[in-house]
Amino acid sequence: MIELSNVSKVFHQGAARITAVGNVNLRIDQGQIYGIIGYSGAGKSTLIRLLNGLEQPTSGSVTINGQNITAARGETLRQARLKISMVFQHFNLLWSRTVSENIAFSMQIAGVPKARIRARVAELIDLVGLNGREHAYPSRLSGGQKQRVGIARALANNPDVLLCDEATSALDPQTTDQILELLLDINRRFGLTIVLITHEMHVVRKICHRVAVMENGHIVEEGDVLALFSHPQQPITRQFVGQLNDPLAPETLNPALISDLPGSVIRLTFTGQNTHQPVVGTLTLKYGLPFNILHGKMTQTAQGVFGQLWLHVNATTTQLEQILADLHHSNIGCEVTRHG
């Protein structure tokens, strides 16, 4: 559906050469909700502008639905962009137009007949939950309502791809969840491919199927959301996953709080059906050792549940090795975070 091959974008500021995107290779399948996460300056916004042809790569190619966007020019590029819509962080609504007029605007530019525009606007207003607000101006709307208008406008010409550039970062947490649920519903109903640019791991966790982590213009880690959450490889990925950690997780506690407990601390990581296994009871029965639960948490992602559990046990070296082997055999990730 979307394929980036060796894509780089270099900007020149005087004698300085700034690589905003460096040699990115990426594939996004039809119907996926794909997250691209990174902090400010990582290159996310430049990357999304390369996807819709607003920026031309310095090298490499961008292909969408088999069409090379990089090589498209003039009318060919304009027609391609009609199938690649955008939702913006700060809404970008026309303040002198009503909700209906904002949604109709892109169809008017595309030359859609008036009768079809009226029908499509009514359909979209119902889809995004703005019934009764058709004639309101943006100044009379809440942030969430403005973003619903932005989403409806982006869907007006029946795009194949919806690009969301920090579409929820200007919203409060409750409204963010509502907008994410709307995007998830749109994806499920129409099989629309959605690419989300964000710096918030909550957004990725909530609705994305796959995610790429960007740092300094490069993709440093990529994969299924559940796998990335349960086994982050890069320091920046672990930092993002840590955004969702309970501040009272054992790794953030003062070591003095458990320093008087002899023994080891083990962190267990569960995914999918493994979260239902009676791990602590099984280990206790097998080894005859008391396992103290220090902390536990469960996190729901679009692909399923993953959980983490911190256990304290006073075991011999041999017993500890056997315990870890049993956990691995049960497909439960484990790491000794403190040796006794």
pLDDT, tens only, 64-91:
988 898 888 888 888 888 889 999 988 9
| Residue spans per domain, the chain | 2-243, 248-338
State the average pLDDT over residues 250-265: 64
| Residue 312 to residues 30, 177, 284, 309, 336, Cα–Cα distance (Å) | 45, 36, 12, 10, 10
- Given a cut of 90, whether residue 183 has pLDDT beyond it is yes
Task: Domain 2-243: give its CATH architecture.
Answer: 3-Layer(aba) Sandwich (3.40)
DSSP 3-state of 143: helix
Maximum mean pLDDT: which of 65-74, 133-142, 327-336: 133-142
In this structure, what are the phi and psi dihedrals at residue 197, rounded to the nearest 5 degrees? -95, 130
How far apart CA 10 and CA 21 sit, in angstroms, is 7
Q: How confident is the model at residue 95 (pLDDT cuts 50, 70, 90)?
A: very high
Distance, in Å, from the CA atom of 56 to the CA atom of 71, rounded to the nearest integer, reads 9
Task: Please give the Cα distance from 115 to 132 (Å, whole number).
Answer: 20
The per-residue pLDDT for 197 is 94
The mean pLDDT value of the chain amounts to 88
Q: Is 82 helix (H, G, I), strand (E, B) or coil?
A: coil
Statement: residue 247 has pLDDT above 50: no
- pLDDT band at residue 270, thresholds of 50, 70 and 90? confident
DSSP reduced 3-state for 122: helix
Query: What digits encode the pLDDT tens for the residues 109-128?
Result: 888 999 999 999 999 999 99
Report whether 144 contacts 168 (CB < 8 A).
no
pLDDT band at 227 (very low <50, low <70, confident <90, very high): confident
Token pair belonging to 230: 């349960």
**Helix/strand/coil (H, E, C) string of 164-187?**
EECCCCCCCHHHHHHHHHHHHHHH
Residues 162 and 85 sit within 8 Å (Cβ to Cβ) = yes
Question: 107 and 117 in contact (C-beta within 8 Å)?
Answer: yes
Q: Residue 305 pLDDT more than 60?
A: yes
pLDDT at residue number 178? 95
Q: Is the per-residue pLDDT at 248 higher than 50?
A: no
pLDDT-derived band at 259, boundaries 50, 70, 90: low
Q: Which two tokens stand for residue 283?
A: 């280990």
In the CATH scheme, what is the homologous superfamily, with its name and number, of domain 248-338? Answer: ACT domain (3.30.70.260)
Closest to 192 in 3D by CA, of 200, 182, 201, 202? 182
**Alpha-carbon gap, residue 60 to 69, rounded angstroms:** 11
Residue 263 has pLDDT above 70, yes or no: yes
Alpha-carbon distance of 248 to 175, in angstroms, equals: 26
CA distances from residue 2 to 50, 151, 214 in whole angstroms, order as listed: 12, 21, 17
Average pLDDT over residues 185-193: 94
